């Protein structure tokens, strides 16, 4: 009976060891896959929010694969348990056979001592072998027990890692929601900024239209003033001519026929001059009155209305733009800081990697650069000297023209408010650039050849096509 028990124990232990090894291989694969998933999630938390969706899908697919793998292994374990139960039945049958053999041994002992001693020796030898096998099985059982404990520890670690994975997935979902809310806020801010820009553009267009009307009115006033000045100059010239002619006539006719012919001619000339003067005054009087009564006050009223209407809109626009800028800045700065923190290690790695290459390129190109500098140095000094002279002469001429423009603008009352530094500088620079542009256009017209137009080839095929296009009725 002891031998049969030993045999049953050995078979049972061998089956348990195979079952435990199969579970260890399955659990090892599961834990390795879970470790890989945890590493992937931890590495992906530092990536941009745009790549989080893709990584989450990959993680979910991996977890689904792991679950299917675990289900397969559980089915395999159930099949192995069924095999173990069948083997236990076989062991029971063999134990019954061993019991029958032991009964036969007892019967043989009764038959003869010699045969019994031989059978006993064989039985003892088999018992020794079985004891050795049992010792081996015990050792293997201990090692398997240790492996089982290690596997249980790894399973616990895998469960903890899976729990951490779920927590990290929840944190990733929270980050997604925060990012969506931030994107919505950003879109709303952009819409508000676009509305403010449109309002500012509309106000600027209104201001430009009013400025154009004001400029047109100013140009009309200037034209009228010029016409008045021309009329006054003509009157002065006519007066001076008449006075000179009168003096000449007086001197001539005083000597000869003053009383007969000179006096009536002089009176006629004076009458004509007086008539022209009266006509000029009549023609200029209504224009001057219209300028003083209508144009100047209307321009001033429109300017005041424009200022009063535009000031509150401009102030509200400035306030809104400042608020939008501050809100966008307060919301965008943490993201910018995160991006900088995320990009900084990569930038440092790129810098470390590229620094030796940059140093090598600098060391290789340094002698060539020095040679180029030495070769160009005499030419550069000449160019710099000539450019300095040109700048000095241009600044002197520019200052002179600016002073003359300022004097011209300050002579008249209407042009005094236009005598600003910006307008003077622009007028002086345009007057300096005008002769250069004219010379450039003249030389371009003289020396540049016009492109020749391609000559049409009168081919027979074209004539046929034209004939096809013709109308037969005509």
Domain ranges of the chain: 2-185
Segment 335-371, tens digit of pLDDT: 778 877 887 787 788 778 777 877 777 777 777 767 7
Q: Residue 459 pLDDT more than 70?
A: no
pLDDT at 247: 67
332: confidence class by pLDDT, cuts 50, 70, 90: confident
* Contact yes or no for 7/130 (Cβ under 8 A): yes
The pLDDT tens digits for 35-63 are: 544 444 444 444 456 677 787 788 778 78
Q: Which of 140, 18, 24, 142 lies closest to 81, judged by CA?
A: 18
Q: Which tens digits make up the pLDDT trace of 267-301?
A: 776 677 667 666 756 765 676 677 667 766 776 67
**Cβ(406)–Cβ(419) under 8 Å?**
yes
* Structure confidence at residue 261 (pLDDT): 60
Q: What is the pLDDT of residue 474?
A: 36
Mean pLDDT of the chain: 70
**What does the alpha-carbon distance between residue 303 and residue 311 come to, in Å, rounded to a whole number?**
12
**Range in 21-25, 195-199, 295-299 the model is least confident about:** 21-25
Q: What percent of the chain has pLDDT over 90?
A: 0
CA distances, 202 to each of 209, 306, 310 (Å): 11, 14, 11
Whole-number pLDDT of residue 31: 46
- Tens digit of pLDDT for each residue in 111-165? 655 655 666 677 677 777 777 777 777 787 787 777 777 777 776 776 787 677 7
CA distances from 329 to 79, 189, 326, 333 (A): 65, 11, 5, 6
**Interatomic CA distance for residues 132 and 71, integer angstroms:** 39
Average pLDDT over residues 92-101: 79
Lowest mean pLDDT of 7-16, 179-188, 211-220, name the range: 7-16
From CA 386, how far away is CA 92, in angstroms rounded? 116
Give me the pLDDT at residue 33, please.
47
Percent above pLDDT 70 for the chain: 65
3-state secondary structure at position 213:
helix
**How far is 331 from 247, CA to CA, in rounded Å?**
91
pLDDT at residue 37, rounded to an integer: 46
The per-residue pLDDT for 449 is: 52
Statement: the pTM of the whole predicted model exceeds 0.85: no
Cβ atoms 154, 140 nearer than 8 A: no
30 has pLDDT over 60:
no
């Amino acid at each position: 009976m002891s031998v049969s028990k030993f045999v049953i124990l050995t078979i049972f232990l061998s089956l348990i060891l195979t079952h435990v090894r199969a579970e260890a291989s399955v659990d090892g694969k599961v834990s390795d896959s879970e470790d890989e998933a945890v590493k992937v999630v931890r590495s992906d938390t530092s990536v941009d929010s745009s790549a989080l969706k893709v990584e989450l899908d990959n993680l979910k697919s991996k977890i689904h694969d792991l679950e299917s793998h675990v289900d397969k292994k559980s089915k395999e374990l159930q099949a192995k348990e069924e095999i173990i139960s069948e083997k236990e039945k076989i062991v029971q049958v063999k134990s019954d056979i061993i019991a029958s053999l032991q009964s036969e041994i007892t019967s043989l002992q009764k038959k003869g001592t010699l045969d019994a001693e031989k059978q006993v020796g064989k039985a003892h030898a088999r018992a020794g072998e079985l004891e050795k096998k049992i010792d081996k099985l015990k050792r293997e059982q201990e090692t398997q027990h240790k492996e089982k404990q290690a596997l249980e520890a790894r399973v616990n670690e895998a469960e903890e890692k899976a729990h951490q994975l779920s927590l990290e997935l929840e944190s990733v979902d929270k980050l997604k929601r925060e990012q969506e809310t931030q994107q919505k806020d950003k879109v709303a801010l952009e819409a508000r900024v676009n509305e403010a820009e449109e309002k500012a553009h509309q106000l600027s267009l209104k201001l430009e239209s009013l400025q154009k009307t004001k400029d047109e009115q100013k140009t009309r006033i200037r034209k009228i003033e010029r016409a008045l000045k021309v009329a006054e100059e003509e009157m002065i010239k006519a007066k001076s001519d008449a006075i000179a002619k009168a003096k000449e006539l007086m001197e001539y006719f005083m000597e000869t026929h003053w009383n007969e012919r000179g006096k009536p001619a002089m009176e006629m000339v004076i009458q004509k001059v007086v008539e022209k003067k009266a006509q000029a005054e009549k023609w200029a009087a209504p224009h001057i009155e219209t300028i003083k009564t209508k144009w100047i006050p209307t321009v001033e009223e429109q300017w005041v209305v424009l200022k009063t209407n535009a000031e509150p809109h401009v102030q509200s626009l400035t306030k809104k733009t400042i608020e939008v800028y501050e809100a966008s800045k307060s919301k965008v700065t943490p993201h910018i800081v995160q991006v900088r923190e995320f990009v900084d290690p990569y930038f440092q790695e790129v810098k470390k990697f590229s620094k030796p290459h940059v140093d090598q390129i600098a060391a290789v190109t340094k002698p060539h650069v020095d040679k180029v500098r030495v070769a160009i140095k005499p030419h550069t000094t000449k160019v710099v000297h000539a450019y300095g002279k040109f700048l000095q002469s241009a600044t002197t001429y520019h200052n002179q023209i600016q002073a003359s423009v300022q004097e011209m603008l300050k002579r008249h009352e209407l042009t005094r408010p236009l005598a600003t530094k910006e307008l003077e500088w622009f007028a002086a620079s345009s007057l300096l650039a005008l002769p250069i542009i004219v010379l450039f256009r003249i030389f371009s017209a003289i020396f540049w050849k016009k492109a020749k137009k391609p000559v049409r080839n009168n081919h027979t095929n074209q004539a046929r096509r034209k004939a096809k296009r013709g109308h037969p009725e005509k």
